[in-house]
Structure formats: C-alpha cells, structure tokens
Amino acid sequence: MTQNPFLISPQDLAAVIDRDGVSIVDASWYLPAQNRFAKAEYDAGHVPGAVFFDQDDIVDPASSLPHTLPPADVFAEKVGALGISDTDTIVVYDGMGLFSAPRVWWMLRTFGAKDVRVLDGGFPAWQAASLPVETTAPESRPATFAARLDEDAAVFLPQMKDIVAAGSLQILDARPADRFAGEAPEPRQGVRAGHMPGARSMPFLQLTEGGRLKPPEELRRAFAEAGIDPGRPSVTSCGSGVTAAVINLALESLGNRSSRLYDGSWTEWGSAADTPVETGRGPKT
C-alpha cells in the first residue's frame, strides 16, 4: 500500500484483487474533444473484475446539468446493481491515469462508502506493469449500497451564492487558466466565460504528473504558487464537477478534511442569469 491512504498501487491491487469485499470500478469518462469512448475502451480491456461506472448515467435524472449528484435512492439502486456495497474496499481508476476517477472516488465517499482508493496511475499504470487484462464484464451480483448524502461534502447553487458573496471559503477552479480568465470560450453553449468572484485558478493538471497525483511536497508547492492555503476550508469547481475532484483528492491527501465540491460547477454558475462573473487571471499571489 502506498503512503497516501487514498491511493493504491497496481501491484498492491493485484495482490488483493480476488478477495471478498474488494470492488473495482472503471470510472473512465472523456470530453468530446478527446475523441475517446469510455465504454468501448472498457469492453476492449479492463482490470479483471472491474465494473463500468457510467458517469453520464448515474446522475440526477431531473437535472438538465451534466454530472449532477443523483438522489440517494437512485445512487443506491444503480451502484448496488453494479455489485458495489458501501462496506467494500472500492478501487476506482480511469483510462487517462488521473482524470475522471477522482469524481467517482468523491461520489462514493459522499454517499457513505468508507474505504475508497484511486488506482495510482490508473489503467495505463496497470498495463505498464504487465498485469492481467480481461475483456468480459464480471457476472452480475447485485449488492446493497446504503446511500446517504454527506451534505458537508457537496455545495449547491444557493450555498455557492452565499460563499461567493461572503468570501467565506477558498474557491478553487480546476479548469484551464485561459477558461478561468475568460480568454477562451466555454465548450458548452450558453455558458459565459470567466470565473466566480474571489476564485483562484488551480488547473488540475498542475497537480498531476504522468497520470499520477504529485507527491505531497510538489502539491504544496503548486497550491502555494496559486496563492492557496491547502489547510484552509475550500470549495472546488470545474466545468461540470468532474476534474474539480482532482483538487479534492489532492487536498485530502495533504490532510484537509474540510474540502467540498460545487456540484453544478461552472456550467451551472456560468449559465445562470443572476450570478456574478469576473474575467482576468485573478488576484496576484
């Protein structure tokens, strides 16, 4: 096991892969511009025993926004149908190394799972270690996932408006710096360019290297260069709530247990009619 309690190496996963109570989740998801297709890649090869977690399906069916948290009963039904229990040791990974897996890591914990790890280096690291790959989905064995939303983990629009108005939390934006500054258009139609007042730009790629989370000292340096105190209470955001979770993973890896995630993220904020938007690179560090 690695020192980081939220990561597990390919070799350590291989050693426990057949144990009862270990669930493995392929949490791959890609942006349209990446021209990759998560389910097709899963079907072509995945970690043995892994189930596919569809991040476009396990969402709030009543919301028009992408990737919003579903009600607890919907989450329980869909995740339980995958054979995942809240009492399992759950290992999540993605096909980029570290991109979309932290979102599912965060979701599972937000709904009550106690032991959730991210595969260090993801599926590329598993393959690089010459570990087994299979192409068939595991036999369906429904489980019970007792889902209960941790309201301290997620932030929704009314709360986010109050946080921005009061400046009560650090707001960390995982989008690329040019989108944060309003210098590049948003990929979703009807969403304004820019950022929330008071937010800091913390592109998630500055927290990763080679598809892995950077070591603690490098994470601290990245946060410091962005003018962020990783020990303070924070709320994270991105385009639709996926890569924001990379920041949450980094913060929790440094011991910050008070990080939250704005579920609607910039798609919601930037498309609302009554939310303030700023442009520019943000405050100087």
Task: Identify the active-site residue in 69, 125, 169, 238.
Answer: 238
The token duo for 34 is: 């990446």
Which residue(s) pair with 46 in the sheet? 134
Q: How many CA atoms lie within 13 A of 25 on its CB side?
A: 30
Q: How far is C-alpha 237 from the chain's CA centre?
A: 10
Q: Among 49, 52, 10, which Cα is nearest to 134's?
A: 49
End-to-end CA separation in angstroms for the chain = 36
CA 261 from chain centre, in angstroms, equals 9
238 is catalytic: yes
Give exposure, 165-200, as e/b (b: 16+ Cβ within 10 Å): eeeebbbbbbbbbebbbbeeebeeeebbbbbbebbb
Residues carrying an active site annotation: 238
